[in-house]
Structure 1
């Protein structure tokens, strides 16, 4: 490839205030000097996925979540509901920007990016969290990373006695990215930082844990940008997620389905189901086992409609959820006002207010009704403000690199007036 290099950085939990004021905007900040002072806003409209993994998969494929194979943040696995996570390339149904670039001779790098474990990315560090499949964390890291990543960046750390459980994932990503980007040409690097989003969701956006996570994020961003050393031929794209808002309501719809005999429990655990709401942050998808009679779906809809009507939720039927998973179809989606989050547990009270003394959910959740602003700079990227969805951003990014995403369903970012037409 001779289209210049591209660095895409996704930072879950980053918000507009962080980019307007704070350590990222201090004089001398590498990110400020390399991107913020002259970046063009790429507006991601409302609608589409609000959680990071499906959004980033949509970006790297140029396709909507209905086509990518990754529709939710947590992989659907009722047998192991605590595991979750979208790490594996096998989850994808269509090619990605990383694959297309590599087929054109590009050297590719993906650090903590979803759905890349087991892919052909040259330098791949997915940081899988799936201990049920692997003996220990080092086995998990080495078996899910690319051979080149293991040889050049992981093996010497293991031999030096590094304990993966004692280092922040974003700190490791910052170190590895610095080595990889300064150690030789990388044509396309897609790097995800997750610690800030985890801390702000778990403890709240103004917590001390969130402040510490922001400091780690700033350090990792500095390492990335300095090591990349962008020239006029190169592109940098900074991708925040949807804005986070304080949680006001935690909803446990499966407790309602359990009372109607559609979910079975074994103590506090899920034991089986005929219909089940799988949470996705501010949304919940109603899954019905394939082969069940239509009466099961009707019974689940009726049970959830009562809850939705009483607690200002929206129960939206969907007609494109056939084959959502190997076992189920999705027939509806539950949505609430900003600040609503859905839980999986079938044994909690149906609804728990956020200020309840027994509240045990996250403190912040993505706002699916909000837009977000991606910042981009470099050849081929728009020179004026444009808007679109996550898939549109993927198409535009590919075009800036002289590439075509073969299974894209979007047409690319466009000026606001054209996008509304």
Structure 2
């Protein structure tokens, strides 16, 4: 390329010589052509198509220690062997799906991108279980927009927080209400461009989220392959969900979870084959949002708040919140304690005393009461008063059940603890041209993934300040 630069310098100087207008015009036209060729060559050098597959709830040791768990996952193991991988990814707190999926595509903390949990803060139930579905809530630039600005074609299948997302040319967002038949029609309505999902369904089958999780992942897989074959996106994100659901029900590394991951591995293989046919020079990255921990105890913190008078309920068959001064916003292994009036120092002090009392009782399984200052430093919701971080084996339960504690007869699973727990670390596996074979990246920060992907795409994501990973 230095020779190309010397040629440009020569042509520029030549064009400035005092020749006649016709000659100068000819040289200028020649120079413009040279510069266009240079720009094309530079783009070809810096742009690699990227497919990023998120397997929700995938701990890295499912893949790095597959033999230990008796897992038959040849496609994920091939990506591990042929490319680079992280021993673990330190994600963001709380370690739940939506904040972390947003960090994966922005490279910044929740306090910067604005997605603090899966479900909206809704103590009185007015949102009827609404989640952070809408991209208008995202306050930071995304990889899709960066890729779009670089002149690339972008697409996404079932990625969280993408309803009406800018920068995505072909978008099937994660969206659901009741997981019944009408949800399919809503999915068709919110996908963009209008009519695209219905067209893909002619080949891939109905995008029906009322199916079982494993069947739905198959739907996502078929739809993704149809998207690749028909739209040829340069940057494509895909979200596979069933492993998370099975782990919640049976725990990580349970026979059920292992069997589900083996099915997912086959799906990843089929998606990868389709991608390689369209983009043989592309990069494939497999990521996840969080790890998982086995659970045997549920803790109903809001029941304790009801007992102490911080919450009053109405209704008989189904209790709902009538009034509240403090509410525990559940996030699995943590609970974010929210004050109705942030300036209510008296209530804040009373809650602090109550939480200290509960933490001193080992039955509640509380590992730490995280202060407001520490939570903000971690990039969590700036309005939180305290965060209750549970020990592994315990989780915050939704509802106002009595008693406040419930022991389970079999393992379940959860996540959502603070990101300091190693079991919560997520995954990053990447392979393709320009990626070193068998490279161990060690433990990385999730915020490094977005700028690394941007670099592969030849795009700019200047708001993501963390250093790119060295993949070579």
Normalising by structure 2, we get a TM-score of: 0.76
Change (3 A) 1:329 1:39: same
Give the one of 357, 371, 378 matched to 1:317.
371
Which residues in structure 2 correspond to 1:74-85 (within 5 Å)? Answer: 74-78=119-123, 79-80=125-126, 83-85=129-131
Partner of 1:40: 84
1:253–1:277 contact (8 Å) kept in structure 2 = yes
Partner of 2:237: 190
Structure 2 CA distance for aligned equivalents of residues 129 and 238 of structure 1: 24
Partner of 1:59: 104
Change (3 A) 1:163 1:114: closer
- Other structure's SS at 2:385 match: strand
Which moves more between the two structures, 86-95 or 16-25? 16-25
Partner of 2:462: 406
Partner of 1:255: 303
Give the one of 335, 345, 352 matched to 2:389.
335
Unpaired segments ≥5 residues, structure 2? 1-42
Partner of 1:226: 273
Structure 1 CA distance for aligned equivalents of residues 468 and 325 of structure 2: 40
User: Deviation at 1:346?
Assistant: 2.5
Give the one of 346, 350, 361 matched to 1:295.
346
Structure 1 CA distance for aligned equivalents of residues 450 and 87 of structure 2: 13
CA-to-aligned-CA distance 1:197-221 (integer Å, 9 cap, x gap)? 1111123345565355335423421
Instruction: Please give the root-mean-square deviation of Cα atoms over the aligned residues, in Å.
Output: 3.2
CA-to-aligned-CA distance 1:275-329 (integer Å, 9 cap, x gap)? 111111211111112455221222222212211121352111123659987xx92
Structure whose residues are more often helix by fraction: 2
Change (3 A) 1:39 1:90: same
Which residues in structure 2 correspond to 1:205-216 (within 5 Å)? Answer: 205=252, 209-210=256-257, 213-216=260-263
- Other structure's SS at 1:129 match: coil
Give the one of 242, 246, 249 matched to 2:290.
242
Partner of 2:413: 364
User: Deviation at 1:84?
Assistant: 4.1
Q: Which consecutive aligned stretches of 4+ in structure 1 deviate over 6 angstroms post-superposition?
A: 322-325
User: Deviation at 1:351?
Assistant: 2.1
Change (3 A) 1:97 1:47: closer
Give the one of 391, 403, 408 matched to 1:354.
408
CA-to-aligned-CA distance 1:92-124 (integer Å, 9 cap, x gap)? 111110111112221111111111111131221
Partner of 1:181: 228
Give the one of 441, 446, 450 matched to 1:390.
446
Partner of 2:192: 146
Structure 2 CA distance for aligned equivalents of residues 265 and 40 of structure 1: 53
2:54–2:240 contact (8 Å) kept in structure 1 = yes
CA-to-aligned-CA distance 1:178-203 (integer Å, 9 cap, x gap)? 11112242101111111111111123
1:237–1:377 contact (8 Å) kept in structure 2 = yes
- Other structure's SS at 1:271 match: strand
Structure 1 CA distance for aligned equivalents of residues 384 and 455 of structure 2: 34
User: Deviation at 1:170?
Assistant: 1.1
Partner of 1:103: 149
Partner of 2:160: 114
Which moves more between the two structures, 392-401 or 15-24? 15-24
Change (3 A) 1:330 1:215: same
Partner of 2:359: 308
Which moves more between the two structures, 109-118 or 341-350? 341-350
1:177–1:223 contact (8 Å) kept in structure 2 = no
2:296–2:394 contact (8 Å) kept in structure 1 = yes
Which moves more between the two structures, 55-64 or 78-87? 78-87
CA-to-aligned-CA distance 1:213-249 (integer Å, 9 cap, x gap)? 3354234212211111176631111113433221032
Q: Matched residue pairs, number?
A: 401
User: Deviation at 1:391?
Assistant: 1.2
Partner of 1:283: 334
- Other structure's SS at 2:86 match: strand
Change (3 A) 1:73 1:218: same
Unpaired segments ≥5 residues, structure 1? 416-421
- Other structure's SS at 2:384 match: strand
Structure 1 CA distance for aligned equivalents of residues 88 and 452 of structure 2: 12
User: Deviation at 1:18?
Assistant: 4.6
2:102–2:113 contact (8 Å) kept in structure 1 = yes
Structure 2 CA distance for aligned equivalents of residues 382 and 261 of structure 1: 59
